[in-house]
Amino acid sequence: MSSFLRSLLSCAALLLSDVLATYHLGAADPQLIAAQSYAQSRNDGRPPIRTLNPAKTDSQCRSRTLDLVFIIDSSRSVRPGEFEKVKIFLANMVNTLDVGSDATRVAVVNYASTVKIEFLLKDHFNKPDMKKAISRIGPLAAGTMTGLAIKTAVNEAFTEPSGARPRSRKISKVAIIVTDGRPQDQVEAVSAAARASGIEIYAVGVDRADMRSLQQMASIPLEDHVFYVETYGVIEKLTSKFRETLCGLDPCAMGHDCEHICVNSNASFYCRCQNGYILNADQKTCSLKQVKVEDPCKCEARLAFHKQTQAAIQQLTAKLADVSGRMERLENTVGRA
For residue 148, CA distances in Å to 111, 139, 195 come to 8, 17, 15
194-248 per-position pLDDT tens digit = 999 999 999 999 988 999 999 999 999 898 899 999 999 889 888 888 887 777 5
| pLDDT tens figures, 82-94 | 999 999 999 999 9
Compute the CA torsion angle 237, 243, 245, 248 (nearest 10 deg).
-170
Specify the pLDDT at position 262. 86
113 contact partners, CB below 8 Å, separation of at least 6: 75, 140, 142, 143, 144, 145
pLDDT tier for residue 154 given thresholds of 50, 70 and 90: very high
CA distance 71 to 204: 10
Q: Report pLDDT digits (tens) over 79-132.
A: 999 999 999 999 999 998 999 999 999 999 999 999 999 999 999 999 999 999
Query: How many Cβ atoms are within 10 Å of 49's Cβ, its own excluded?
Result: 14
Higher pLDDT, 184 or 51: 184
Under 8 Å CB-to-CB from 58, ≥6 apart: which residues? 96, 240, 243
- CA nearest to 175, candidates 194, 190, 148, 156: 194
- Looking at the predicted structure, is the pLDDT value of residue 57 above 50? no
pLDDT higher for 48 or 331?
331
CATH architecture of the domain with residue range 66-248: 3-Layer(aba) Sandwich (3.40)
Ranges 8-12, 108-112, 276-280: which has the least confidence = 8-12
pLDDT at 189: 96
Beta strand ranges found along 74-198 (DSSP E): 105-111, 115-119, 172-179
Return the pLDDT at 254: 61
* Phi, psi for 180 (deg, rounded to 5): -120, 10
CATH number of 258-303, picked from 2.10.25.10, 3.40.50.2000, 2.40.50.100, 3.40.50.300:
2.10.25.10
Tell me the average pLDDT of the chain: 79
C-alpha to C-alpha distance for 337 and 333, rounded to whole angstroms = 6
Assessment of whether the complete model's pTM goes beyond 0.95: no
Instruction: Please give the pLDDT value at position 314.
Output: 80
Q: What percent of the chain has pLDDT over 70?
A: 74
Q: What residue ranges do the domains of the chain occupy?
A: 66-248, 258-303
